[in-house]
Amino acid sequence: MKFKLVSNFKPAGDQPEAIEKLVQGIKAGYKFQTLLGVTGSGKTFTIANVIEHVQKPTLVISHNKSLAAQLYSEFKSFFPYNAVEYFISYYDYYQPEAYVPESDLYIEKDASINEEIERLRLKATSSLLTRRDVIIVASVSCIYNIGSPDEVKELVVFLKKGVEKGREALMNQLVSIQYKRNDIQFTQGTFRVRGDIVDIFPADEKNGIRVEFFDDYIEKIYIFDPLTGNIIKQIDEVIIFPAKHFITTKPRIEEAVKNIKIELEKRVAEFEKQGKLLEAQRLLQRTLFDCEMLLELGYCPGIENYSMHLSGRKPGQRPFCLIDYFPKDFLMVIDESHVTIPQIQGMYEGDHSRKLTLVEYGFRLPSALENRPLRFEEFESLINQAICVSATPAEWEIEKSKGRIIEQIVRPTGIVDPKVTVKPAKNQIDDLINEIQKRIENNERVLVTTLTKKMAEDLSQYLNEIGIKVRYIHSEIDAIQRVEILRDLRLGEFDVLVGINLLREGLDLPEVALVAILDADREGFLRSERSLIQTAGRAARNVRSEVILYADEITESMKRALAEMERRRNKQLEYNRIHNIIPRSIVKTKEEILKATSVADRLREERKEEINFDEIERLYREMADAVSLMEFERAAELRDKIKEIKKKMEMKERRHVRNKGNLYQS
d(C-alpha 558, C-alpha 241), whole Å: 54
Q: Is 39 assigned to a binding site?
A: yes
Helix (H) or strand (E) holding 277: helix 277-297
Helices and strands in the chain: count of H runs, count of E runs: 21, 25
Contact 539, 532 (CB under 8 A): no
Sign, CA dihedral 213-214-219-222, equals: negative
User: What's CA 225's distance to the chain center, in Å?
Assistant: 29
Q: Is 208 assigned to a binding site?
A: no
Q: Is 423 assigned to a binding site?
A: no
Q: Is 40 assigned to a binding site?
A: yes
d(C-alpha 198, C-alpha 189), whole Å: 13
Amino acid at 438: K
- Report the relative pairing of strands 134-138 and 58-61 from DSSP bridges: parallel
Give the number of other Cβ atoms within 10 Å of residue 120's Cβ. Answer: 18
d(C-alpha 253, C-alpha 249), whole Å: 6
d(C-alpha 639, C-alpha 536), whole Å: 39
What CA–CA distances, in Å, run from 4 to 53, 55, 131, 299?
Answer: 9, 9, 14, 42
* DSSP code string of 513-565: EEEEETTTTS-SGGGSHHHHHHHHGGGTT-TT-EEEEE-SS--HHHHHHHHHH
The burial class, CB within 10 Å (0-12 / 13-18 / 19+), for 247 is: buried
d(C-alpha 222, C-alpha 219), whole Å: 10
Amino acid at 59: L
Q: Is 187 assigned to a binding site?
A: no
d(C-alpha 161, C-alpha 221), whole Å: 7
Contact 379, 25 (CB under 8 A): no
Contact 568, 417 (CB under 8 A): yes
Amino acid at 25: G
- 474 CB contacts (<8 Å, ≥6 apart)? 453, 456, 499, 500, 502
CA triplet 289, 293, 296: central angle to 5 degrees?
Answer: 140
3-state secondary structure of 378: helix
CA triplet 478, 592, 334: central angle to 5 degrees?
Answer: 55
- 384 CB contacts (<8 Å, ≥6 apart)? 31, 328, 329, 330, 331, 332
d(C-alpha 289, C-alpha 302), whole Å: 12
Q: Is 298 assigned to a binding site?
A: no
Q: Is 43 assigned to a binding site?
A: yes
d(C-alpha 175, C-alpha 626), whole Å: 39
* DSSP code string of 191-221: EEEETTEEEEE-TT-SSEEEEEEETTEEEEE
Contact 132, 54 (CB under 8 A): no
Q: Is 42 assigned to a binding site?
A: yes
Which amino acids are annotated as binding site for ATP, given as ranges? 37-44
Annotated binding-site positions: 37-44
